Structure 1
Amino acid sequence: MASTSTFSREALDQVLKRRFFFAPAFEIYGGVSGLYDYGPPGCALQANIIDTWRKHFILEEDMLEVDTTMLTPHEVLKTSGHVDKFADWMCRDLKTGEIFRADHLVEEVLEARLKGDRAARGVVEKAGDDEADKKRKKKVKEIKNVKLDDQEVKEYENILAQIDGFSGPQLGELMTKYNITNPATGGPLEQPMEFNLMFETAIGPSGQLKGYMRPETAQGQFLNFSKLLDFNNEKMPFASASIGKSFRNEISPRAGLLRVREFLMAEIEHYVDPEDKSHPRFDEVKHVKLRFLPKDVQESGSNKLRECTIGEAVESGMVDNQTLGYFVARIYLFLVKIGVNPDRLRFRQHLLNEMAHYAADCWDAELETSFGWIECVGCADRSAYDLSVHSARTNEKLVVRKALPSPVTVEKFEVSINRKKFGPSFRKDAKAVENALLNRTQCELEDLAAELKKEGKVSLNVEGLSEPAVITSELATIEKVTRTEHIREFTPNVIEPSFGIGRIIYSIFEHVFWSRPEDKDRCVLSLPPAVAPTKVLLVPLSSHADLSPIVKKVSAYLRKEQIPFKVDDSSASIGKRYARNDELGTPFGITIDFDSVKDASITLRERDSTKQVRGSLEDVVAAIKAVTYNDESWAEATKKLTPFEGQSGDA
């Protein structure tokens, strides 16, 4: 299996580039940062991961898949809050105009200073041999071997543990307090300012309908909620899912696929009764042991992980509810299945100041890479926010109606409008004012009722009106009424797992990449067979005419069994041919030699161990299918085959 030798990002980058997994887009024109093209193996790997995702989530959980448009009108994203709040904090060099993302800048500078302090204290660290990393770090002008005092070290470590939770003004205060300037020039920087990450566009030739390239796939799912509920025969709970491109105009794209401007997302919206967030299949996953970084640990300035089962995490209240916990565990099982190293996977809870005000709880699946811990999957309980705001904006009821087992008597505040006077009072704005009044929560109506009774009027801020609308007791009344109800009407809460496919793919590359101990230049990508771009390399021992019919026969059989394969009949040695495909992550090799002419047997090679076994075409292909598609071990799948010590698969 994988070597324990020091990881080299430079070696990995060379393999990914040489084998064209992905490459900068428009490269012959100089490229555009944050945009990448996938080559043949990258496309196949991505397709296989998506296929596994569909089977693991959509099919196994009986989800409803939708494909919604990437172009989104301004009004939709204004309602969802993206127009006003979907932003990162950037700061600009006052002299050069160079732009930095503020949280990344603070993080990079403080980490560099801590590294310099450790060097001054005689702490030896592993030297990275990644050329790109060296070039990036050369930009950070830090004085070597200058010690920080113990208080400064503690402060830096505490800040880094909470870096995701700082607001723009707080980042500005840190930059001032710790004298953080342009790392390359030492030049002063402006205070952080908000930068909206959405790509703006115009829909239609007139340019009057403003729109954006969607920053996520979620909004299209929410807007189709009523149709999906109807399709599901009004049954709750249920989930929708969507896979597609999203776009974010990143301030400073870096780290390859980890921070890009166009990327593939896979998102789930699981709709659940707010009064019952249990999950019927929770018992199936409650034993799954995970590594958590809860908010209280982060707030203490520590990154010490807490290990426990998801059942224990939910029971203790660390994870808010069963349905959220169920998906956290299912995310873990999916990531491990496609090649993530479980020892380099943690779930970090959002801090209070980074979590949306409406969210009940949120956990990120973070994967450890040479760039640090990278958020690859978010899993949030978004409460009823999204459906509520779209319902309020459009006056469409995005609700579930559920028959009660027996009638119940309820007391609630209701608005009664005097239409003879209301319409003439507000004229063309009457409908907008009415909607603003009717779409209030019970708590808000209770406050308005008290104010109306006391003052004889209330003032409402109405979107589109320059001044508050004044509603008197002659125009409307707000009173508590008692009703008997046979139907319960509620807005579902939403549990949202959201996957960044590109980030997951890159993290997997790092987790499965290694070099053979006997030769560091012989690199291997130990991709799980289920997601590997090609499953089999078919290798004739030579170009002799006697082998050609067998190559054709084996190719036809693999094609019939729908096993992706590639033939390499080049003049290179068999060892070199296998080495090339080890870099592509191809898990199996079939060698055809002159014994194959005599007895129709073939040799099967396993990528990681280079072990070889021999048998009939049918038995070899059955073993390949068992390992690739049925999760059988190599030892179990090859019981019928004979160990082979003849022609080395690595000669």
Structure 2
Amino acid sequence: MLLRLLSSASRAIAAKPHPPQTLAAAAVGATSTTRKLAAMAGNREAFRVAVGNTLERRLFYVPSFKIYGGVAGLYDYGPPGCAVKANVLAFWRQHFVLEEGMLEVDCPCVTPEVVLKASGHVEKFTDLMVKDEKTGSCYRADHLLKDFCKEKLENDNTLSPEKVEELNHILAVLDDLSAEQLGAKIKEYGIVAPDTKNLLSDPYPFNLMFQTSIGPSGLSAGYMRPETAQGIFVNFKDLYYYNGNKLPFAAAQIGQAFRNEISPRQGLLRVREFTLAEIEHFVDPEDKSHPKFSDVSDLEFLMFPREDQLTGRSATRLRLGEAVSEGTVNNETLGFFIGRVYLFLTQLGIDKDRLRFRQHLPNEMAHYAADCWDAEIECSYGWIECVGIADRSAYDLRAHSDKSGVPLEAHEKFAEPREVEKLVITPSKKELGLAFKGSQKMVLEALEAMGETEALGMKAALESKGDVEFKVCTLGKDVTIKRNMVSINMEKKKEHQRKFTPSVIEPSFGIGRIIYCLFEHCFYQRTGKTDDEQLNVFRFPPLVAPIKCTVFPLVKVEKFDVVAKKISKALTTAGISHIIDITGTSIGKRYARTDEIGVPLAITVDSTTSVTVRDRDSKDQIRVEVDEVALVVKEVTDGQSTWADIMWRYPAHTALATDEEEASET
């Protein structure tokens, strides 16, 4: 066998494949692979186990603190996992930060309590939790109810049509259920602790943030940030100045976020520490057009508007330009980022047929949001939200302006002064002080923060009745405002500029979730020499592959080792990640080993003048001169040429022993 391989390796076959044949063969291979993947994915549990075992065995990621039994919701990325993550983040920076001219920042993970009070996280960043009444184990109440409803719908054939409708309705309104309503349903359905079958407590809110203290005194409260966005919002004034006081502009940040999940599950999809990549695009609320929207307007992909969800229809392919022009997507800037997110994910290697953009239902929308869409990717766990793209209106900047007292505003200068009618609210500090004493400041701030509609309603009530009940959120109660406590008028003024609080379009990327879905979408098994033999392959695009190529001396002899080192040096100079495998195992075993971590190209040193280059997916091989091979690899891995392009330019290499025969020895 060895003599035949050496003899074959010493010849360069001059015949070039015809491009259409090459492309046709690649298409057949892709179709075959898709069929195998679909068949395996049909049994989701078996597919998930196969992917998970391969990822852990090849050290893509493993449970953190494994030798101590691990901690739920915490994972370590190993060498190939780190490389994939670094490549995904590098492409994110290229695709968004560089191409769109964004301002990148890096803010601390530890955040003072006052910041997260202003943003609403201290009061509202909660999930409803229940406890096992005997063991104290904790569970998310909505997850237990959702799992119960889904299990009944999928496995109970005795359900009446009325019961089916009831369970589907619960799933639809799950996010809107109060603690009391959740508790009532858990009791009604007899839901118990999954592990022990013990009774559960009533649901109660649990704040998901990790609390800490800043400084040795412990008096300055803080939290580990649950998102990276707040660091951008509080820096708006300086970023606006840095950008020449011009709108629109975007700021971006990549960093760690922390959420103390009640019952983490589903691997990388729900963890307690994770990487977020977030963009805050600041725009004039009166003009949300985007100059580059035409670049993405012709894209067509799966979209799931709220009307289709509410009427029971499925996601359908829509052209993005039509979705914006018809008002399905609220504005051009939001639509532009939906298109850019689609391009980002599909270029990473996400299957476009298992990617959809789902619009938030009314019960999911924050009261301040103008529109919100999630990029959802289908994997063995179902449809998973991986990117949120929201028009958050001006809520965040206003919240921090109100709390800090620092105006976070933009301005538009007029060529000529304009006469405008403006609302002027003038509280009487003396009367408020006499009436509310220590609460005076909170009442005054609430009056000054009123919107025009609310203020004019108060004015009418005061003029007709003399007093009005007014809710002060910071006090948590209503107070009585009398006519002598505040003056509310519309006054005409001349203005030289318009001051306003910008709206924010926010794409937020869960990097770990994207990476896990990418692992599943790129994984498949192909047969070896026998039908019983299955070889694992990660079909990563070169863009995200952890290692771009491997270098194999065919046999362990000094002259081949010298050539391998020369090629390695050239690859390093070209900035191409690679490994040299000089183990004594067969070439087939080495191919199988690197296919399993997704290496796209393999260089086999079988001569001192030319080498073979093998493509992972087609397993085709070409012969390339030693001095050219680094340039060829760089051309393919940088995306300048496809493998089909390269095959047309270089002579094919055929060996007497096929890869499958060699790989079967594994």
Asked if Structure 1 and Structure 2 have the same fold, meaning a TM-score greater than 0.5 normalized by the shorter chain, the answer is: yes
What are the within-5 Å matches in structure 2 for residues 488-527 of structure 1?
488-518=498-528, 520-527=533-540
Select the residue among 606, 617, 636 that pairs with 1:608.
617
Select the residue among 558, 573, 579 that pairs with 1:566.
579
Deviations 1:592-646 (A, max 9, x none): 01xx22xx11111111111111112344333322222135321113432111102
Select the residue among 68, 80, 105 that pairs with 1:41.
80
Select the residue among 449, 454, 471 that pairs with 2:459.
449
Assess, with a 3 A threshold, how the Cα gap between structure 1 residues 305 and 167 changes in structure 2: closer, same or farther: farther
Aligned to 2:40, the other structure's residue is in SS state coil
Select the residue among 503, 515, 538 that pairs with 2:551.
538
Assess, with a 3 A threshold, how the Cα gap between structure 1 residues 114 and 188 changes in structure 2: closer, same or farther: same
Q: 2:379, 2:183 → 1: CA distance?
A: 28
- 8 Å CA contact 2:257–2:273 kept in 1: the answer is yes
Aligned to 1:210, the other structure's residue is in SS state strand
The equivalent residue for 1:202 is 213
- 8 Å CA contact 1:161–1:298 kept in 2: the answer is no
Q: 2:304, 2:172 → 1: CA distance?
A: 10
Q: 1:471, 1:103 → 2: CA distance?
A: 41
Select the residue among 261, 264, 278 that pairs with 1:267.
278
The residue identity in structure 2 corresponding to 1:343 is D
The equivalent residue for 2:335 is 325
Select the residue among 108, 112, 125 that pairs with 1:73.
112
CA shift for structure 1 position 418? 6.1
Matched, 1:172 2:180: no
Deviations 1:472-512 (A, max 9, x none): 65565322110122211111111100000011111111111
Q: 1:342, 1:441 → 2: CA distance?
A: 44
Matched, 1:399 2:409: yes
The residue identity in structure 2 corresponding to 1:6 is M
Q: 1:484, 1:31 → 2: CA distance?
A: 66
Aligned length: 618
The equivalent residue for 2:307 is 296
Range 347-356 or range 505-514, more displaced: 347-356
Aligned to 2:648, the other structure's residue is in SS state coil
What are the within-5 Å matches in structure 2 for residues 140-289 of structure 1?
147-160=158-171, 163=174, 166-289=177-300
The equivalent residue for 1:95 is 134
Assess, with a 3 A threshold, how the Cα gap between structure 1 residues 315 and 168 changes in structure 2: closer, same or farther: farther
Aligned to 2:241, the other structure's residue is in SS state helix
CA shift for structure 1 position 164? 5.0
Percent sequence identity over aligned pairs: 48
The residue identity in structure 1 corresponding to 2:281 is H
The equivalent residue for 1:637 is 646
The residue identity in structure 2 corresponding to 1:16 is L
CA shift for structure 1 position 196? 1.1
Range 440-449 or range 348-357, more displaced: 440-449
Q: 1:529, 1:183 → 2: CA distance?
A: 43
The residue identity in structure 1 corresponding to 2:108 is T
Aligned to 2:649, the other structure's residue is in SS state coil
CA shift for structure 1 position 463? 7.0
- 8 Å CA contact 2:567–2:630 kept in 1: the answer is no
CA shift for structure 1 position 186? 4.0
CA shift for structure 1 position 152? 2.8
Q: 2:230, 2:202 → 1: CA distance?
A: 33
What are the within-5 Å matches in structure 2 for residues 130-149 of structure 1?
147-149=158-160
CA shift for structure 1 position 260? 0.3
Q: 2:583, 2:659 → 1: CA distance?
A: 15
The residue identity in structure 2 corresponding to 1:601 is S
The equivalent residue for 1:479 is 489
Q: 1:191, 1:423 → 2: CA distance?
A: 42
The residue identity in structure 1 corresponding to 2:340 is R
The equivalent residue for 2:52 is 13
- 8 Å CA contact 2:567–2:629 kept in 1: the answer is no
The equivalent residue for 1:555 is 568
The equivalent residue for 2:633 is 624
Assess, with a 3 A threshold, how the Cα gap between structure 1 residues 459 and 113 changes in structure 2: closer, same or farther: closer
Q: 2:504, 2:616 → 1: CA distance?
A: 43
CA shift for structure 1 position 42? 0.7
Q: 1:637, 1:493 → 2: CA distance?
A: 48
CA shift for structure 1 position 17? 1.0
CA shift for structure 1 position 148? 2.2
Assess, with a 3 A threshold, how the Cα gap between structure 1 residues 307 and 98 changes in structure 2: closer, same or farther: same
Q: 1:459, 1:147 → 2: CA distance?
A: 54
Please report the TM-score for the alignment, with normalisation by the length of structure 2.
0.87
Range 52-61 or range 434-443, more displaced: 434-443
Structure 1 unaligned runs (5+)?
A: 118-145
- 8 Å CA contact 2:278–2:507 kept in 1: the answer is yes
Assess, with a 3 A threshold, how the Cα gap between structure 1 residues 28 and 101 changes in structure 2: closer, same or farther: same
- 8 Å CA contact 1:605–1:649 kept in 2: the answer is no
Deviations 1:541-565 (A, max 9, x none): 0111111210111011001101000
Structure 2 unaligned runs (5+)?
A: 1-29, 42-46
The equivalent residue for 2:125 is 86
CA shift for structure 1 position 191? 3.4
CA shift for structure 1 position 227? 0.6
Q: 1:422, 1:254 → 2: CA distance?
A: 52
Assess, with a 3 A threshold, how the Cα gap between structure 1 residues 254 and 475 changes in structure 2: closer, same or farther: closer
Assess, with a 3 A threshold, how the Cα gap between structure 1 residues 103 and 617 changes in structure 2: closer, same or farther: farther
